[in-house]
Amino acid sequence: MEAILFGGIAALANVAGGFWVTWPRPVLRRSLLSHLMALGAGFLLAAVFLKVIPASLDLNLWSGRSVAPLVLVLVGYLLIQLFEHTVAPHFHFGEETHAEVCAERHVVWTAVGGVALHAFFDGVAIGAGFHVGHQLGVLIFIAIFLHKLPEGFTVASIMLASGCSLRAARWASVGVAAATLLGLALMSAAREVVPYALPLSAGVTLYVAASDLIPEVNRENRSASSLVVFLGVALYYMTEKALEAVGR
């Protein structure tokens, strides 16, 4: 129940991101977008390494030193490399400004499809996290939530760059939100796959943080943007301590 509530909030952030594209002040929008991506990247990295991967190793499916969960992490990582950058060679987070490459329909649909697949695993990660425990679920939710606004923004701006209407752009962000809910629904319907889904989604979120978000932060060429990544890690630490303090 809790998973559905938190997952629903994350999906709503996708839709809000889609509407954000029409935000009237581009200067504010640009720096806020980049800071959100940096904060999200730091939080995600800390959550994946310190919570999600250890929790995956703890699931009692495999004998002591099996690398099987780590193989699943690698598979999740490579899955997104395949769908976001091999099938869809032109994809990057943030505002799509390359109208010339977006003139071709298949470029647009493969990019949006790649985001939808990764968003599906965002939902899987939240759902699987809450199955393992409340604290893990909440931490994964915050980690995912932070990049959901830029994510909705990204798909909507890809649609706009390809010459689609504002309406179509917003619907694309609704589609990505729906993919998140689908991942969430799968986790509540098929609990037995949780031990496999958790490390797989850890690999996906690792990709999103380290290979989608961090390159966009670094492209800014500003130390201030990069510093926000460390702020994201600090925020993770404080959130974890706060959750432990309230004992849940």
> How far apart are alpha carbons 204 and 142 in whole angstroms?
16
Q: Which is nearer to Zn ion, 67 or 175 (CB)?
A: 175
Using an 8 Å Cβ cutoff, are 58 and 116 in contact?
Answer: no
Q: How far is the CB of 204 from Zn ion (least distance, A)?
A: 8
Q: Which is nearer to Zn ion, 84 or 151 (CB)?
A: 151
Q: Which is nearer to Zn ion, 98 or 134 (CB)?
A: 98
Query: Which of 3-11, 39-47, 61-69, 114-122 is the region at the interface with Zn ion (rule: CB under 5 A)?
Result: 114-122
Binding status of residue 219 toward Zn ion by CB under 5 A: no
Amino acid of residue 239:
T
Q: What are phi and psi of 192, to 5 degrees?
A: -65, -20
Residue of 151, 212, 216, 220 interacting with Zn ion (CB under 5 A): 151
Query: Which of 29-37, 105-113, 150-158, 195-203 is the region at the interface with Zn ion (rule: CB under 5 A)?
Result: 150-158
Q: Which is nearer to Zn ion, 178 or 227 (CB)?
A: 178
Q: How far is the CB of 62 from Zn ion (least distance, A)?
A: 27
Binding status of residue 122 toward Zn ion by CB under 5 A: yes
Output the residue with the shortest Cβ distance to Zn ion: 98
User: Closest by alpha carbon to 139, among 63, 59, 48?
Assistant: 48
Using an 8 Å Cβ cutoff, are 10 and 180 in contact?
Answer: yes
Query: Which of 23-31, 38-46, 50-58, 151-159 is the region at the interface with Zn ion (rule: CB under 5 A)?
Result: 151-159
Write the CA distances from 108 to 8, 114, 149, integer angstroms. 26, 10, 19
Residue of 71, 98, 190, 242 interacting with Zn ion (CB under 5 A): 98
Using an 8 Å Cβ cutoff, are 159 and 168 in contact?
Answer: yes
Q: Which is nearer to Zn ion, 69 or 216 (CB)?
A: 216
Q: How far is the CB of 206 from Zn ion (least distance, A)?
A: 12
> How far apart are alpha carbons 130 and 124 in whole angstroms?
10
Q: Which is nearer to Zn ion, 8 or 227 (CB)?
A: 8
Helix intervals (H) in the chain: 2-20, 26-47, 53-58, 68-80, 105-132, 134-161, 166-189, 194-207, 214-219, 223-245
Q: In angstroms, how far is CA 222 from the centroid of its own chain?
A: 23
Residue with tokens 């179509």: 168
Q: Which is nearer to Zn ion, 151 or 216 (CB)?
A: 151
Q: How far is the CB of 91 from Zn ion (least distance, A)?
A: 8
Applying CB under 5 A, which residues contact Zn ion? 96, 98, 122, 151
